[in-house]
């Protein structure tokens, strides 16, 4: 169920200090809101992960895509940020999904199809619809699975979480701390 409290949201944190990660082909010291060429789970925003390995995997996917597009020597980086989550909760509008449920599914499907017209939030937190989950979403969208079946399928999977910053105000809470190179996958 969507909510705005920090109970059971899937990551360990000190309410005043939390680390988030962003995987990219560049080091991102100053996050920005940019248009995406693809429709994403939570719409337009700066996407971060609560798991560093998840961010590294995403950086590797971007690296591979850049290579396929003909880029020479693209980067493969994980940028780290600190946030004060307790203060964010008090000052920002936050939508939270602690698990893939009907609300999450409807929200993700509306964003991925470009049809979301609901309330705007500063931050959206919840499970990532990664490549495996995406295939399941396509099966739902084409009528192979019912909503109930897809929720049951997703409930048994280990899903990572993402925190998406969707407003300029929310970006001001991200404080760059460091970066590391994520080794590209070997071909």
Write out pLDDT tens, residues 125-146: 999 876 677 788 888 888 998 9
**Residues in the chain, total:** 187
Q: Does the pTM of the predicted model rise above 0.95?
A: no
Q: For the chain, what is the mean pLDDT? A: 85
Q: CB count, 10 Å around CB of 113? A: 10
Please provide residue 11's backbone torsions phi and psi, each rounded to the nearest 5 degrees: -145, 150
> CA 170 from chain center: how many Å?
15
pLDDT tens-place string over residues 157-172: 777 899 999 999 999 9
> CA 23 from chain center: how many Å?
10
Helix 102-112 vs helix 131-141: crossing angle, to nearest 10: 90
d(Cα 79, Cα 22) in Å, to the nearest integer?
Answer: 5
pLDDT at 82 over 50: yes
d(Cα 93, Cα 169) in Å, to the nearest integer?
Answer: 10
Distances (CA, A) of 173 to 28, 30, 41, 124: 14, 11, 21, 14
Q: Are 29 and 78 in contact (CB under 8 A)?
A: no
pLDDT tens-place string over residues 17-58: 899 999 999 999 999 998 777 778 899 999 999 999 999 999
């Amino acid at each position: 169920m969507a909510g705005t409290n920090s109970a059971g949201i899937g990551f360990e944190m000190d309410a005043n200090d939390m680390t988030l990660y962003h995987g990219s082909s560049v080091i991102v010291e100053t996050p920005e809101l940019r248009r995406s060429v693809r429709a994403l789970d939570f719409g337009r925003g700066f996407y971060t992960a609560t798991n560093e390995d998840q961010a590294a995997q995403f950086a590797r996917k971007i690296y591979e895509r850049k290579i396929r597009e003909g880029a020479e020597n693209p980067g493969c980086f994980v940028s780290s940020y600190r946030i004060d989550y307790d203060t964010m909760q008090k000052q920002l509008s936050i939508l939270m999904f602690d698990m893939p449920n009907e609300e999450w599914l409807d929200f993700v499907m509306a964003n991925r199809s470009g049809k979301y017209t609901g309330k705007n939030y500063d931050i959206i937190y919840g499970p990532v619809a990664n490549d495996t989950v995406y295939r399941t979403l396509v099966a739902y969208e084409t009528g192979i699975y019912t909503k109930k079946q897809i929720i049951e399928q997703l409930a048994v999977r280990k899903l990572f979480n993402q925190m998406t910053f969707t407003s300029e105000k929310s970006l001001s809470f991200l404080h760059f701390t460091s970066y590391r190179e994520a080794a590209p996958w070997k071909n």
